[in-house]
Structure formats: C-alpha cells, structure tokens
Amino acid sequence: MITCHSSSRRSAVSSIGVAEAFERAPLLAERVGEDGDADAIIARARAALASMSEAERIAVLDAHPRIGATAGLSSRSAAEQSAGTTDRATLEALERLNAEYEHAFGFRFVVFVRGRSRAEIVPVLEARLGRTRAPELATGLDEFLAIARDRLERG
C-alpha cells in the first residue's frame, strides 16, 4: 500500500495545478484530475498508483530528476534541490550512489529534499540501498507523493 507523509491541516491546492505537481508524470496527472484540495488529490494519486502496473509505477519514479543532477531540471526541481552549496565530493557520491541504486532496484531514487542539503541526502541514499526492492518501490512512490503534496500546498 502506498502512503504519504501526513499533513495536519487540509490545504487548498495552489495555483500550480496537478500537472506541475506531478512534474514529468503526465499519466498520473491525467488519472488524478484537478478537483479538490491537496488531501483529495493525493488520495486519488495514491489510488491511481495502486491500480497501475509495476512498470507504470516505475515510469513515474524514473520521470523524476536524479538527486544531485543539474542538467534538465525544471526551475521548481532546481529550487527544491538547492539547499546550500554542494562540494565536488558530495556530487560525486550522489552520482555513484544514484547509479548503484538504479542498478540494484531498476528504478530511480526519489526522496523529498526540500530544506535539506545534498550532503544530508547521501546517508539517506546509502541507507535505502540496504533495503529490498518491494519496500523500496513503495518508499519511492511515497516520497514522490510527499513532493507533489508540498508543491500543491506551496504553489
């Protein structure tokens, strides 16, 4: 079952819209629709993901930009990943760990990063490499939904 980081308050959807909240995952955005507050949209997204094939769920994760990558990022993704400066060693570690993760699991590492530096993400990625595939797929989708919720609420 896919769950999402909880929010203690119901929130109106910001002006960004579902397509931007689910950036690069148009299949999911189409299935979810624009109606309702963030809680309703995330609930529909959770249900849509649960009804998708594994290949479709993986496509949602693979559409998300790699942590630490700078090429091809939308302005929203760049802002979300820009907490502080990042030294070369951290960027190299993220590149190596992203490759290990994708080789181990067959899909992209996704984590909610807002407010955390890239250096803070390295141990998270290392820890998640020690997990098994099914729980990691569920965690990646959960993190994806947390990112979408944050985008819907912040605008």
CB 43 within 8 A of CB 15: no
In a domain, 3, yes or no: no
In a domain, 52, yes or no: yes
pLDDT value for 7: 44
CB 148 within 8 A of CB 45: yes
pLDDT in tens, 96-130: 999 999 999 999 999 999 889 999 999 999 999 99
Residue 31 has pLDDT above 60, yes or no: yes
Of the two residues 8 and 78, the one the predictor is more confident about is: 78
In a domain, 1, yes or no: no
Of the two residues 16 and 7, the one the predictor is more confident about is: 16
In a domain, 7, yes or no: no
Residue percentage of the chain with pLDDT more than 90 = 62
- The model's confidence at residue 4, banded by pLDDT at 50, 70 and 90, is very low
In a domain, 10, yes or no: no
Specify the pTM: 0.82
pLDDT in tens, 64-90: 889 887 665 556 555 555 555 689 999
Report how far residue 67's alpha carbon sits from residue 82's, in angstroms, rounded to the nearest whole number.
10
Name the residue range of residue 26's domain: 18-154
In a domain, 82, yes or no: yes
CB 147 within 8 A of CB 112: yes
In a domain, 4, yes or no: no
**Average of pLDDT values for 50-74?**
86
**In this structure, what token pair is assigned to residue 15?**
């002006």
In a domain, 113, yes or no: yes
CATH code for position 105:
1.10.3330.10
**Average of pLDDT values for 124-142?**
98
Domain count, the chain: 1
